[in-house]
Each structure stands twice: as C-alpha cells, then as structure tokens.
C-alpha cells in the first residue's frame, strides 16, 4: 500500500506554485507576465527577447531570478515584490486538501522558489493557513533556487529536518532530483507523469493522494 511507503515520514515538504493549487487556476500565468515585463525593463530588450531570456534563465539557472542575478546583477528584493504583485482572487479554498494536510503526522512545511510573503498569501487564499509549521522562500536559501542541492541543504539545515525521514511534493520534476539524492520520498504533483528514477510517485490530485496516506 502507498501509506506503508510513507510510514517513516516525520516531515512533509510541499512546493507552492502548481502544487498547493492546481495549474488550471493559472495563478503563475500572472507571474510570468510580470517577470517578462521586469526583464524588458532591467535588461533593455523587447518583449520577444525578454520572453526568450526568461525561459533560458529558468532552464539554465533554475529560476529567471537566478539568471538575472548571475547575468545582470539584479537586486532580488524589488524583483520578488514586483512579480508577486498579482490577483490572488483566482485561487479558491480547498477544504478537502486542508483536511488531508491537517491529518498528516509530524511537521508540515512549505518550501518555494517564490518569496515567503507571497507563499503566505497563496496559503491563505487556499484556506490552508495554520496548517504549516514553517514557510520557506528563496530568500531562506540565500536566493539560490531549487533545483540546486545547496538550496535544499540550506533550507533543510535551517529547519532541522532529517531528509531520510521526510517527503517532498513538487510539480517540477527537476526539483525532486536533489531530494531523492538526500534520501527523501518524492512525489511529482502534475497533470502528466514524468517517469524518472528520482520520482517515486506521481499524482494529478494532491488531496486524493494524501487521502491514501490516512491512518
């Protein structure tokens, strides 16, 4: 049974975007628009080139922000404030997900490549406030992004969790490679599976999957 494979888990680590809410809510679409606008302004390029750079930096550095910092010396603070100034009204509470998360034994944390203030607004909009013991943003990793192992190590050390007794839920398959190497149980949360040795489970419905882990 699936539950038996998580019987050792003491800490449950959740990504945020497209993990604690379904991609169909399209919240991240708004962020992408604002990221492109920021790249246009910061780098002095047109829309098409800014879009290309945004995708290229995401692919090569893990996040657009990491690429902007590396290639252009961008200050992460104003960038994060700008790209997360969006409409959270597209999100709706999910009582079933809230109940399933509340039932998980041990500690529950959120770790995102976004910022902590942004993450807390998403958590509130989804009706999940009060369920997590800690919320970590990219700032807690010194602005180093997932999928870098050093980013995970920094956040996990600050939290004090034991990766060998933890599980990671993520929509981006790349971001499960380091957790797998560190001994975590990995769950890919996305509409379509991405088979890989570092992915132990896949689900297109987080609440339904967590429901399988109940007592």
Whether the predicted pLDDT of 215 surpasses 70: no
The average pLDDT across 29-52 equals 94
Query: CA-CA distance, 154 to 156, in Å (whole number)?
Result: 6
Give the CATH fold of the 3-21+91-211 domain.
Rossmann fold (3.40.50)
What mean pLDDT do residues 33-38 have? 94
> Over the stretch 143-193, which tens digit does the pLDDT of each residue have?
999 999 999 999 999 999 999 999 999 999 999 999 999 999 999 999 999
> CATH 3.40.50.1000: which residues of the chain?
3-21+91-211
Got the DSSP string for 84-128? T---GGG----HHHHHHHHT--SEEEEE-SS-HHHHHHHHHHTT-
Q: What is the pLDDT of residue 1?
A: 82
Helix (H/G/I), strand (E/B), else coil: 29? helix
pLDDT tens digits, 114-157: 999 999 999 999 999 999 999 999 999 999 999 999 999 999 99
Q: Please tell me the CATH code under which domain 27-83 is placed.
A: 1.10.150.450
Model pLDDT for residues 46-83, shown as the tens digit of each residue: 999 999 999 999 899 988 999 999 999 999 999 999 99
Q: Say what the pLDDT of residue 214 is.
A: 81
Q: Can you tell me the mean pLDDT for 79-99? A: 96
User: Where in the chain are all domains bearing CATH 1.10.150.450?
Assistant: 27-83
The strand pairing partners of 13, in sequence order, are 109, 168
**Is this prediction's pTM over 0.75?**
yes
Q: What is the mean pLDDT of residues 82-111?
A: 97
Helix (H) or strand (E) holding 27: helix 27-39
Over the stretch 3-13, which tens digit does the pLDDT of each residue have? 999 999 999 99
**Model pLDDT, residue 141:** 97
């Amino acid at each position: 049974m699936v539950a038996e494979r998580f019987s050792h888990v003491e800490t449950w680590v959740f990504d945020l975007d497209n993990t604690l809410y379904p991609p169909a809510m399209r919240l991240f679409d708004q962020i992408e628009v604002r990221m492109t606008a920021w790249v246009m302004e910061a780098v002095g390029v047109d829309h098409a080139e800014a879009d290309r750079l945004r995708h290229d930096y995401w692919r090569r550095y893990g996040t657009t922000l990491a690429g902007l910092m590396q290639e252009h010396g961008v200050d992460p603070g104003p960038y994060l404030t700008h790209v997360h100034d969006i409409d959270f009204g597209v999100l709706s509470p999910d009582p079933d997900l809230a109940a399933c998360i509340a039932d998980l034994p041990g500690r529950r944390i959120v770790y995102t490549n976004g910022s902590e203030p942004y993450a807390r607004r998403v958590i509130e909009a989804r009706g999940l406030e009060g369920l997590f013991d800690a919320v970590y943003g990219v700032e807690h990793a010194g602005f180093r992004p997932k999928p870098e192992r050093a980013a995970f190590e920094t956040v996990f050390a600050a939290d004090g969790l034991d990766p060998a007794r933890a599980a990671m839920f993520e929509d981006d398959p790349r971001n499960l490679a380091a957790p797998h190497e560190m001994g975590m149980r990995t769950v890919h949360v996305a509409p379509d599976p991405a088979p890989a040795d570092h992915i132990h489970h896949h689900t297109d419905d987080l609440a339904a999957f967590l429901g399988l882990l109940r007592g």
